[in-house]
């Protein structure tokens, strides 16, 4: 029987289709009141209930704490390295050919790993920062200090070198638009295995997913629960977790609204990386293989899609970012 809890990437690597998103987990660590314990609790809870796919990024500033937990699990033999799928991402201030190796080596040191399973370019927009830890440096007006010389093709060749050097098993893109993906595909010696973009019931990304399917690129959806901590709620568009279509299905088949939203994307062959720092929710969010949504339920959820206007992660909170030549959201997809 086909194992629906994992898929095979174009490289042949096997990826668990539900991963733990770790954006915001422990991100207060560098600020008063932050907690390393939050990261340790979440990663331990996830590994204990069977997650083997973890999504992090230099930007999230939690690689070191994740690495501590991974080290403990790997060194005690509770898990083998080849059973894990660890993703991290090149920050915007590393979007230069000559900086990729440095940033990936730093990530590997923090994660206490000799390789990552997937290294993504986090965002096509490049910035210039004096501090490697600051991906979005600001000038005195509060505008992002952009690197207007970003060369995505040169950057991709440096990403390919990471595979050659054994530091990344696979490489991919995040927050790239259709034109940028096509541009990379024209020259890629090692094509992107994954595109990680915002996907949820309000933003199903149909055209971008069709393009990825044509190029054999697997789509990984971030914010699969609709990012309830960030999304704007209106009477017409409630938070997805509270949407009557979602709660009705959840009640009827006795699962949580989050499980409905995740199952909806999984049945569209979208890999999901829900974030939770709460052990009970972490556990529930990976229990999505014991039920199936009917074609009618899928159609009702599909009908919630309202396209690009529902994008939560539009980058516009970074002042001046639209001036960058590679700002991805001038195009509808």
Ligand X SMILES: NC(=O)c1ccc[n+]([C@@H]2O[C@H](COP(=O)([O-])OP(=O)(O)OC[C@H]3O[C@@H](n4cnc5c(N)ncnc54)[C@H](OP(=O)(O)O)[C@@H]3O)[C@@H](O)[C@H]2O)c1
Tell whether residue 273 is a contact of ligand X (CB under 6 A).
Answer: yes
Dihedral sign, Cα of residue 161, residue 164, residue 168, residue 173: positive
Binding mask 120-149 for ligand X (x = CB under 6 A): --x---------------------------
Residue 67 has φ and ψ, to the nearest 5°, of -60, -35
**Contacts within 8 Å (CB) and 24+ apart, 34-39:** 36/65, 38/277, 39/65, 39/66, 39/69
Nearest-angstrom CA–CA distance, 296 and 276 = 29
Query: Shortest Cβ distance from residue 195 to ligand X (Å)?
Result: 10
Pick from 58, 95, 162, 196: which binds ligand X (CB under 6 A)?
196
Tell whether residue 277 is a contact of ligand X (CB under 6 A).
Answer: yes
Tell whether residue 275 is a contact of ligand X (CB under 6 A).
Answer: yes
Nearest-angstrom CA–CA distance, 75 and 231 = 40
| One-character DSSP codes across 107-130 | HHHHHT-S-EEEEEE--S--B--S
63-to-181, 255, 281, 309 alpha-carbon distances in Å: 27, 32, 22, 32
Nearer to ligand X, 2 or 290 (CB): 290
Nearest-angstrom CA–CA distance, 68 and 106 = 15
Residue 266 has φ and ψ, to the nearest 5°, of -60, -40
CA nearest to 106, candidates 85, 132, 128, 134: 132
Tell whether residue 179 is a contact of ligand X (CB under 6 A).
Answer: no
Pick from 124, 276, 286, 304: which binds ligand X (CB under 6 A)?
276
Query: Shortest Cβ distance from residue 288 to ligand X (Å)?
Result: 11
Query: Shortest Cβ distance from residue 77 to ligand X (Å)?
Result: 27
* Span of 148-156, 158-166, 205-213, 274-282 interacting with ligand X by CB under 6 A: 274-282
Nearest-angstrom CA–CA distance, 194 and 85 = 13
SS3 32: coil
Pick from 190, 223, 265, 271: which binds ligand X (CB under 6 A)?
223
Pick from 16, 18, 21, 38: which binds ligand X (CB under 6 A)?
21
Residue of 60, 119, 136, 318 marked active site = 60
Tell whether residue 218 is a contact of ligand X (CB under 6 A).
Answer: no
* Span of 182-190, 226-234, 263-271, 290-298 interacting with ligand X by CB under 6 A: 226-234
* Span of 70-78, 104-112, 154-162, 218-226 interacting with ligand X by CB under 6 A: 218-226
Query: Shortest Cβ distance from residue 102 to ligand X (Å)?
Result: 21
Tell whether residue 22 is a contact of ligand X (CB under 6 A).
Answer: yes
Residue 140 has φ and ψ, to the nearest 5°, of -65, -15
Catalytic status, residue 318: no
244-263 positions binding ligand X, by CB under 6 A: 256, 258
Tell whether residue 328 is a contact of ligand X (CB under 6 A).
Answer: no
Nearer to ligand X, 158 or 203 (CB): 203
Nearest-angstrom CA–CA distance, 11 and 257 = 34
Nearer to ligand X, 16 or 274 (CB): 274
| One-character DSSP codes across 263-331 | HHHHTTT-EE--B---HHHHHHHT--SS----HHHHHHHHTT--GGGG-S--STTSTTGGGSTT-GGGS
SS3 239: coil
Tell whether residue 175 is a contact of ligand X (CB under 6 A).
Answer: yes
Tell whether residue 53 is a contact of ligand X (CB under 6 A).
Answer: no
Binding site for ligand X (CB under 6 A): 21-23, 55, 122, 174-175, 196, 222-229, 241, 256, 258, 273-278, 281, 284-285, 313
* Residues with catalytic roles: 60
């Amino acid at each position: 029987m086909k194992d629906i809890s994992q898929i095979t990437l174009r490289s042949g690597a096997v990826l668990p289709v539900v991963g733990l998103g770790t954006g915001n987990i422990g991100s207060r660590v560098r600020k008063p009141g932050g907690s390393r314990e939050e990261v340790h609790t979440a990663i331990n809870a996830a590994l204990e209930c069977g997650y083997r796919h973890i999504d992090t990024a230099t930007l999230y500033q939690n690689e070191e704490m994740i690495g501590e937990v991974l080290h403990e699990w790997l060194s005690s033999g509770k898990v083998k390295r080849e059973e894990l799928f660890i993703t991290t991402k090149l920050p915007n201030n590393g979007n230069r050919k000559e900086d990729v190796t440095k940033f990936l080596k730093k990530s590997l040191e923090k994660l206490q790993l000799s390789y990552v399973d997937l290294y993504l370019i986090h965002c096509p927009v490049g910035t210039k920062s004096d501090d490697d830890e600051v991906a979005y440096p600001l000038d005195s007006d509060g505008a992002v200090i952009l690197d207007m010389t970003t060369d995505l093709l040169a950057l991709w060749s440096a990403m390919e070198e990471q595979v050659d050097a054994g530091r990344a098993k696979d490489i991919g893109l995040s927050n790239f638009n259709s034109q940028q993906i096509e541009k990379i595909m024209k020259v890629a010696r090692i094509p992107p295995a994954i595109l990680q973009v915002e996907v949820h019931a309000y933003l199903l990304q149909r055209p971008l997913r069709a393009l990825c399917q044509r190029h054999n690129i697997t789509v990984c959806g971030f914010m699969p629960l609709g990012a309830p901590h960030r999304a704007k709620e209106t009477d017409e568009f409630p938070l997805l977790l509270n949407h009557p279509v979602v709660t009705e299905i959840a009640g009827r088949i006795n699962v949580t609204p989050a499980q409905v939203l995740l199952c909806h994307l999984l049945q569209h062959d979208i890999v999901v990386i829900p974030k939770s720092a709460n052990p009970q929710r972490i556990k529930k969010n990976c229990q999505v293989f014991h039920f199936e949504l009917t074609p009618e339920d899928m159609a009702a959820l599909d009908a919630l899609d309202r396209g690009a206007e529902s994008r939560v992660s539009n980058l516009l909170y970074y002042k001046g970012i639209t001036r960058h030549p590679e700002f991805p959201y001038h195009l509808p997809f």
